[in-house]
Amino acid sequence: MATSVPWKGVYPALLTPFTATDELDLPLFVKNLHAQLSAGVHGMIIAGSLGEVSTLTAPEKLTLLETAIETVEGRVPVIMNVAESVTREAIRRVQEAEAAGADGLMLLPPMRYYADSRETVAYFSAIAKETSLPIMIYNNPVDYKIMTTVAMFEELAALANIQAVKESTRDLTNIARMRNAFGDRFRILGGVDTLALEALLVGADGWVAGLVDAFPQETVAIYELAKAGKVEEALSIYRWFMPLLELDIQPKLVQYIKLAAAATGIGSEYVRAPRLTLEGEERTRITGIIEAALAVRPVLQPA
């Protein structure tokens, strides 16, 4: 197990591959993990939104976590996502993840209930007090309707193991707002693929990425070039990548990114119901975007 979580670099929000019979496809999961490691990612996030967390059973989540830990062998931190409706259930999932060897946690706000600021802070605080693991708060008011504000982070700052934020507000000024309020107290990782380079250039420490599931090398290259100050080189890859990155901000991002991962040979398009695989005009359109990008895929220079 990695000894700490630096909360910087590229952290894939990993897909959960399924078989045609709706079982976990662990060999394919391991294949994707190896592709991520080979590309040089800096951490792994298990069972997030892209991982279809809402359709996974608790045993399945632990199986994915244990498989990732065994495969990664301490080379990068393995982060377990926790998304629950009930505080005590969230604490139970956290404690199971810690016992299984997770290096850290990503916490979503309460599911299904539109908690106010006091309730959201209480939810995050109650969980943080029941674990020694480092925590990244997932701040995504666009999809989850709950904004973790600077004022709320002022309260959460009292908890040392709340260390980072996945910044998915789609408001880049929030990065400056957090830096002005807290300096380096919280690490900030951009969480929106279509704003990833911009987030890095205005001060984000890393990128929780989606299309990395299909294109790990290009994702890591953008991060490394941006941090090295090679903005024009990063922009060249980013502009090529943008039609694909836009798949990450759609309601069917899971199906779209799984189709991309299947096209690059490190995933499959099987999803778990109620999601269904793509068909008809929609499938043709998304396949066209992927194939057009693959036809002019950039040749990356060695780091």
Phi, psi of 269, rounded to the nearest 5 degrees = -90, 0
pLDDT of 5 over the 60 cut: yes
DSSP 104: E
Closest C-alpha to 80, from 67, 95, 63, 97: 97
Record the tokens describing residue 156, joined without a space: 């959460």
- Decide if 136 contacts 165 (C-beta within 8 A): yes
Record the tokens describing residue 258, joined without a space: 């799984």
Using pLDDT thresholds of 50, 70 and 90, give the confidence band for residue 4.
confident
DSSP 110: P
Rounded CA-CA distance 16/170 in Å is: 25
pLDDT tens for residues 284-293? 999 999 999 9
DSSP 249: G
Active site (catalytic) residues = 138, 166
pLDDT of 2 over the 90 cut: no
Q: What are the extents of the domains in the chain?
A: 9-231
pLDDT tens for residues 109-162? 999 899 999 999 999 999 999 999 999 999 999 999 999 999 999 999 999 999
Identify the architecture of domain 9-231 in CATH.
Alpha-Beta Barrel (3.20)
pLDDT of 3 over the 90 cut: no
Mean pLDDT of 31-47: 98
The H helix count followed by the E strand count for the chain is: 12, 8
